[in-house]
Amino acid sequence: MADMRLALNPKKDGQRAGRAVASPEGSTLKICVIGLIAGSLLAAGTYCFLNAKRRARLEARANAAVADHVASAQAHLRQQKWEPAIEELQEAVAIKDSTNVAEAQESLTLARRRRAGAILAAAEASLGQRNASKSLELLELYLADLDALDQERAAELRAEFELAECATALLRQLPDESLARFAETGQLEELNRLDHPAMRSLYRQKLQAQLPQERVRRMELRRQREEELGRRAARIRPTPVFREVLEFVERTRRHQPKSESSWDNATLRQYVVRALRITDPAQEQRLFEDFGDRPHARQRLEEQISRLRASVKERFRGPAYREFEPADHEAFDWAVDRELDLLLQELQIR
């Protein structure tokens, strides 16, 4: 029966025989595949290990080189040799494979800032030595430095330099009184606009050096102006309003008292009343009362002269003298002031 079953299933018999023959070859293949995978893993691990060791050696050598450059830079920095120190640190930062580059970069930034600070300090030192050109050159260098931290302070100092360069313009703008006061005391309100003490000293020195030229310039301008005013005043003198001023001055001089009793001179009283156009008897009485007190009387006369000065100037600008131009008005004022100021000086002396 068994033989008959075997005979009846030839296909199964063939599969069994095939498996019996193929089994040894499949085992060999599996072994080869496993060996190949294990070899690859071993090779990759070996490569990684060797590469890590190589990188470690490179990093060690790079870190040692960075440390050498940083140490050399620190030595230069202690001696304030900024450029060699920065060069050393730049070389340190450029080294590849180092893990200490961040430290070198920080040292490089600090060195550059210290160099910039030294430039600003040198600019201020040159200013203190009154070496303006050197100080300005260093300031420009500092302002162009990207690592400069105190740009605002340097810009303010640069602005003060620009102000100091305008010394000539400032002197020309000063009133005569301020110019005379500066020549005498060396004090000037505009100097307080400069915060830096050395800059104030430099500015004062520049102003004082240019002061003589400014005085000569003003004297020449004054001479030219007086010549022009004198030419115009020659046309003005014949006018009735100016002749009144001259007559008043002449009569006042002629009747100027040498003693207290001479102030009662009727002619002088009448002329003063007429020249000043006094119509109020009470005002006339106040003008001439108590003339025994000469200082008090002189003060009253000075007040009346002031009124006369304003009156004639106003009349000259009126319709009666419309043929004269504004420049003639200035000449008239100058001529009137000259005559009356001279009279007042004489009154002070007597």
What are 290-296's contacts with CB under 8 Å, separation 24+? 291/260, 291/263, 291/264, 292/260, 292/263, 294/257, 294/260
pLDDT of residue 6: 44
Residue ranges per domain, the chain?
54-149, 166-232, 237-349
The string of DSSP codes covering 290-330 is TTTSHHHHHHHHHHHHHHHHHHHHHHHTSGGGTTS-HHHHH
pLDDT tens-digit readout, 7-22: 445 545 555 544 444 4
Q: What is the value of pTM for the model shown?
A: 0.43
Phi, psi torsion values for 277, nearest 5 degrees: 55, 50
pLDDT band at 314 (very low <50, low <70, confident <90, very high): very high
Residue environment code for 103-119, b if the CB has 16+ CB neighbours within 10 A, otherwise e: bbeebbeebbebbbbeb
In this prediction, residues 305-318 reach a mean pLDDT of 91
pLDDT of residue 209: 80
Report whether pLDDT(262) > 50: no
The beta-strand segments (E) located in the chain are none
Report whether pLDDT(37) > 50: yes
Distance from C-alpha of 304 to C-alpha of 306, rounded to nearest angstrom:
5
Q: Which of 38-42, 61-65, 319-323 has the lowest mean pLDDT?
A: 38-42
Q: Which of 104-118, 192-206, 326-340 has the highest mean pLDDT?
A: 326-340
